[in-house]
């Protein structure tokens, strides 16, 4: 059985404008974010979704509501779960993004997020950030995937999803990148952040999964 997950990054928020890390913390959608979500909703208005999922953050729930309200061919129940949250940045929540990644990567000779990813991986970036967190509460790669895998298992365990179906998942920037790094088979540039409202497709075929489109705008 194979089905496709349409992974949509939430609309633009104020923290996005201010270049702040926004994991479990939250900021409202801007008007541009609302308008962008509506544009994405229009693109997906004729895609029949058997199920829909999002994290329990306001930005994800609001984006999901906009997209599902505009859908003309389906009305799936929205499942809201903390399993789908963005990476938890711990002490660095709300910190300037460039400054946070400098503090995480510079001790390793990699002063930017891009430097870390090009040299190692997004998973390594998570580990470095937890190491730099004075409270050590940020999620490392193992902790992050232990949580997110529960979300993916929640989708795969939905008995209503059949062969050929489509599923909507409203997600977050670093989570989209993490999923693409894991399932993209090296075909995509994971140093390029996905745009707000962009669409990434993940095809799940039994125990196999592969990214078939990334950052479609």
Active-site positions read 10, 86
113 φ, ψ (degrees, to nearest 5): -60, -40
DSSP assigned state of 73: S
* Residues β-bridged to residue 168: 6, 52
Distance CA 210, CA 184 (A): 6
On whether the CB atoms of residues 90 and 138 are closer than 8 A, the answer is yes
Distance, CA of 144 to chain centre: 12
3-state secondary structure of 8: strand
On whether the CB atoms of residues 193 and 214 are closer than 8 A, the answer is no
Its sign, for the CA torsion 216, 184, 150, 75, is positive
């Amino acid at each position: 059985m194979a089905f496709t997950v349409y992974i949509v990054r939430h609309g633009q928020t104020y923290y996005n404008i201010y270049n702040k890390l926004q994991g479990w913390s939250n900021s409202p959608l801007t008007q541009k974010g609302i308008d962008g979500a509506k544009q994405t909703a229009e693109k997906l208005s004729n895609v029949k979704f058997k199920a829909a999922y999002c994290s329990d953050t306001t930005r994800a729930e609001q984006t999901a509501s906009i997209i599902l309200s505009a859908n003309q061919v389906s009305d799936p129940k929205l499942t809201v779960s903390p399993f789908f949250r963005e990476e938890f940045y711990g002490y660095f929540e709300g910190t300037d993004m460039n400054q946070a990644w400098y503090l995480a990567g510079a001790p390793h000779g990699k002063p930017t997020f891009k430097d870390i990813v090009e040299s190692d991986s997004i998973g390594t970036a998570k580990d470095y950030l937890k190491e730099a967190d004075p409270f050590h509460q940020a999620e490392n790669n193992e902790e992050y995937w232990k949580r997110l895998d529960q979300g993916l298992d929640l989708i795969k365990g939905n008995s209503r999803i059949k062969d050929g179906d489509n599923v909507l998942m409203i997600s977050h920037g670093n989570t989209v990148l993490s999923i693409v790094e894991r399932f993209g088979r090296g075909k995509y540039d994971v140093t390029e952040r996905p745009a707000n409202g962009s669409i990434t497709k993940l095809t799940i075929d039994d125990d196999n999964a592969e990214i078939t489109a990334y950052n479609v705008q």
